[in-house]
Chain A
């Protein structure tokens, strides 16, 4: 509750809520370009896109698990979800993580679409550059602008008229003419570790491997290397969560954010980031670290939808990470940074209740680099479609939002 007293409560009840509201009329890096005589962007009043950035690379194979595929269980001996784990059946062989049950009713009512093997082709594979790629809306190696794709979209949708509501800092909305920030609640980052009993086992066993014989020496070396590697990935995870709302705090905040969005129908765009998905270790399966984060995320998304209330009929929530995770369980019972992940689309305009797009599968020759889910669907297909068909962006201006990207048109996510 402390944050309410501190800042948040004020922020949510009126104009005073806005801790940071900036106008970049003429002063931004990009500036506001005149409409060049073309058709004025027909921003549709009341239509919204909310981007929930799942920061840290959430594991698509846990969110929508190909639980019936024996290769999935072979690749992930201790963290795979069983077909009978209790998660909602999504069809096409996928099961929703049981901890995400809060979203199952939306799927059943066709308001939630699941896009597996989704990502940004060519994105970097470490967090900071991949997050920058996401923010630019194009892979760095593909060139592209310095501003963020949401910033460019806000500009293209009508400049000062449209507002953007954000809760966390991001380069994704750099270049936006105007945005309001609602301070998110502050809570420490949530990081996975190893299961407690594993630490106990290593401590006990270390005593038995004491001595000078080759076996003892090998164990000592192996354990030292392991601890170094673990410390390193945990440090990386700590960095990967920078700026995002820790998942445990998301559920509490989300409903307020939704209610605020419902009031501000002039805000065409909204952005917030949720963190804690960089599960290099101690990931767990149906229960465990990631299950807890997914539960908080699902409850948060559901509360965001509840907060929007009737406005959800005109709102699309796009939940996307900077990448997915590798298909193989690693030596710490976690997964390493990967490529294709799962994107979720939630809201009234979504043609949901289905798993959309290609699923390349997990056979060795199908994996990207022999280790990752290949990117079969570009998330910009979905985002672009929402921008054009839902928000009213003229189709020819899509290239401004996503430089170098041309939609294939093979995906349809809106009703």
Chain B
């Protein structure tokens, strides 16, 4: 038997030879220079996906970068793999809307009756409700991970993650946990590449948001004389302004208060029967009908329509365009994105009425996007590192339970971070000594088949296949170290190497 190193190199050349017809380079040159995938292909795949799965680099090289980008911007036309549908079918709560989730997993009818009569359901009953809500939230996390790993609509999945964080529900609060999944499915997913104002309207009205950010408590009692019945809770208004205008926007405390008044009477109505749609309920009797001034605009006291008007004012504000444009540039390009690019993206955002697809197209077709200085410059978030490793290894997610746990251990559990905008989008904050060694351990666990549910048993991941999948992003040092290591460790070395932490 030849030494391992020789076998490795031979297989690599073989893999290349198969890919070469589409890459259009010569075999001789490739064998000398290593995998010859064009840098633009690597950049497009590493930024528009969670990381290449086997064959991705070759496929994108074959279709061409611009076709790939346009395809990812139109995910409706991309067929999803059967394995993903199967993984999602195994999660019963994933096909339930907000109202049904409440009926099947919320407090039982008798407890709801007690609550409706002004009493409080028993502590035991409520504990059981929260037990179940935690399982429903876990299913939501499993669904998100399965999609991130298996979906062919990778850019779409990246944007779903982006908006779920940007329009974050914050740390688990009340029964919002029950609806984290339906929040994603009903409010975020339909609008993740659509128009920002629609996205904002859908998330603001969702019961998960109303509960998690406390806006259901934001009411005035109109019958009460002298304003004594007021219970203005500006928590969500403050978050909403932060999520739109950004931390450095032109907002003043008075704007937050005005917005809070505009949003009074926005309640959760899942238990109210036939009339409810998705669980949102506007209680006109708990709404402040006076005229308000928001960011210099007068908002007439018109009830529910005030909210729509206010969200439009926020969405259309130039500060919002700047803030979203910058954050997208950070997410897809660099912790410190070039200012001219951000300005152009803001223009694309404003000029299209907040069209997310148009804004992204401007980003992915910009010269900056393919500038060599932005290649491999970003440190992965735990989510990206975990998902990219599983994808590179060719894993699926028949059951992403354990993987969801891994993510929690790496410091990025879903729907668990407080603050208005969820986890940091900039890569820098994730670069921590403890987190880094934990990622190395994760690579070892993954390669050794210690993480169940991914179809990756011990010995199933070959370092040769990994090297072929990841292409030129794997450095020569890493390849040599992996080739010298025992077989069980070789694949782990590639998944744990410095290159695997960056993209």
**Interface positions of A (Cβ within 8 A of B):** 70-71, 73-78, 80, 82, 195, 197-198, 200-202, 204-205, 207-209, 214-216, 218-219, 221-223, 225-226, 285, 328-329, 331, 333, 361, 363-366
Cβ-defined contact, A77 with B405, below 8 A: yes
Measured between alpha carbons, how far is A329 from B443 in the docked complex, in Å? 16
Known contacts A195-B448, A197-B486, A209-B498; 10 additional CB pairs below 8 A are: A70-B401, A77-B402, A77-B451, A201-B492, A202-B440, A207-B477, A223-B437, A225-B433, A225-B434, A364-B134
Asked if A77 contacts B406 (CB within 8 A), the reply is yes
Contact of A215 with B452 in the complex, beta carbons under 8 Å: no
B30 to chain A, nearest CB (A): 24
Inside 8 A of B64's CB, which chain A residues have their CB?
A: none
Q: How far is the CA of A331 from the CA of B452 in the complex (A)?
A: 17
Who on chain B is nearest to A328 by CB? B409
B436 lies within 8 A of A200 (CB): no
Distance in angstroms between the alpha carbons of A289 and B107 in the assembled complex: 43
Whether A219 pairs with B436 at a CB distance below 8 angstroms is yes
Judge whether B438 is part of the interface by a CB distance below 8 angstroms. Answer: yes
- With both beta carbons as reference points, the residue of chain A lying nearest to B135 in the complex is identified as A70
Task: Assess the B401–A222 pair: CB atoms within 8 A.
Answer: no
As a 0/1 sequence over residues 394 to 417 of chain B, the CB contacts with chain A under 8 angstroms (1 = contact) are: 000000011111101100000000
A75 and B405 contact, Cβ closer than 8 Å, known pairs A197-B488, A200-B485: yes
Chain A residue at smallest Cβ distance from B452: A82
Q: Bound state CA distance, A285 and B402, in angstroms?
A: 13
Q: Which of A71, A205, A216 contacts B135 (CB 8 A)?
A: A71
Please give the distance in Å from B401's CB to the nearest CB on chain A. 5
B478 CB–A CB distance under 8 Å: yes
With known contacts A74-B138, A331-B409, A365-B127, A201–B489 Cβ distance under 8 A = yes
**What is the interface of chain B, defined by CB distance below 8 A to chain A?**
127, 130-131, 134-135, 138, 172, 379, 401-406, 408-409, 431-438, 440-441, 443-445, 448, 450-453, 477-478, 481-482, 484-486, 488-489, 492-493, 496-498, 501-502
A74 near B498: Cβ-Cβ < 8 Å: no
Q: Which of A73, A76, A218 contacts B433 (CB 8 A)?
A: A218
Most buried by A among B172, B406, B437, B438: B437
| Bound form: Cα–Cα A365–B171 in Å | 13
> Does A197 contact B444, Cβ atoms closer than 8 Å?
yes
Contact B489 A200 (CB under 8 A): yes
Task: With A76-B405, A201-B493 as known contacts, state yes or no: A208 contacts B138, CB within 8 Å.
Answer: no
Distance in angstroms from A300 CB to nearest chain B CB is 28
- List of B residues within 8 angstroms of A80 by Cβ: 402
Q: A71-B135, A82-B452, A331-B409 are in contact. Are A219 and B441 (CB under 8 A)?
A: no
* Cα distance A223–B436 in the bound complex, in angstroms: 9
User: Are B498 and A215 in contact, CB atoms less than 8 angstroms apart?
Assistant: yes
Chain B residues with CB under 8 A of A363: 130-131, 134
Chain B residues within an 8 Å CB radius of A82 = 452
Q: Tell me the bound Cα distance from A77 to B431 in angstroms.
A: 23
Q: What residue of chain A has the Cβ atom nearest to residue B482's Cβ? A: A204
- Give Cα distance in the complex from A329 to B410, angstroms: 12
Q: Are A74 and B130 in contact (CB under 8 A)?
A: no
Residue pair A74, B481 in contact (C-beta under 8 Å): no
Find B450's partner among A71, A78, A215 (CB 8 Å cutoff).
A78
The one of A208, A218, A364 in contact with B477, judged by C-beta atoms closer than 8 angstroms, is A208
B452→A197 contact, CB < 8 A: no
A-B contact pairs, 19 of them (CB 8 A): A71-B135, A71-B138, A76-B405, A198-B444, A201-B485, A201-B496, A215-B379, A219-B433, A219-B436, A219-B440, A219-B498, A222-B436, A223-B437, A225-B434, A226-B437, A361-B131, A364-B172, A365-B127, A365-B131
Once the chains bind, are A204 and B452 in contact (CB under 8 Å)?
no
Please measure, in the bound complex, the distance between the C-alpha atom of A82 and the C-alpha atom of B434, giving whole angstroms.
29
Q: Which of B405, B438, B451, B501 contacts A215 (CB 8 A)?
A: B501
- Taking a contact as CB atoms under 8 Å apart, the answer to whether B433 and A222 are in contact is yes
Q: Is B440 a contact of A201 with CB atoms below 8 Å?
A: yes
B403: contacting residue among A77, A200, A208, A214, CB under 8 A: A77
Assembled-state Cα–Cα distance A105/B35 (Å): 59
In the assembled complex, the Cα of A78 lies from the Cα of B497 at a distance in Å of: 21
| In the bound complex, CA of A222 to CA of B502 (Å) | 17
How near does chain A come to B181, taking the closest CB pair, in angstroms?
14
Please indicate the chain A residues that have their CB under 8 angstroms from the CB of B497 in the complex: 205, 208
Q: Are A205 and B409 in contact (CB under 8 A)?
A: no
Indicate whether A197 sits within 8 Å of B489 (C-beta atoms), given known contacts A204-B481, A214-B431, A218-B433. Answer: yes
Taking the nearest CB of chain A, how far is it from the CB of B449, in angstroms? 10
Nearest-neighbour CB distance to chain A for B415, whole angstroms, equals 12
Q: Which residues of B contact A223 (CB under 8 A)?
A: 437
Name the distance in Å between B174's Cβ and chain A's nearest Cβ: 11
Interface centre among A201, A204, A285, A333 (most CB of B within 10 A): A201
The 5 closest A-B pairs by CB, nearest first: A222-B433, A222-B437, A77-B405, A77-B402, A221-B433
Chain B residues, Cβ within 8 Å of A70: 135, 138, 401
CB <8 Å contact, A215 and B431:
yes
Q: Bound complex: CA of A202 vs CA of B436, how far in Å?
A: 12
Q: How far does the Cβ of B461 sit from chain A's closest Cβ, in whole Å?
A: 13
CB contact between A222 and one of B379, B406, B434 (< 8 Å): that residue? B434
Determine how close the nearest CB of chain A comes to the CB of B248; give it in whole angstroms.
27
B118 to chain A, nearest CB (A): 25
CB distance from B143 to the nearest CB of A (A): 13
Q: For B404, what are the chain A residues with a Cβ–Cβ distance below 8 Å?
A: 74
Chain A contacts for B409, CB-based, 8 A? 77, 328-329, 331
Least Cβ distance of B429 to chain A in Å?
12
Question: What is the distance, in angstroms, from B131's C-beta to the closest C-beta of chain A?
Answer: 4
Most buried by A among B131, B379, B484: B131
Q: Contact check, B441 vs A331: say whether CB atoms are below 8 A apart.
A: yes
Contacts of B402 in A (CB 8 A): 73-74, 77-78, 80
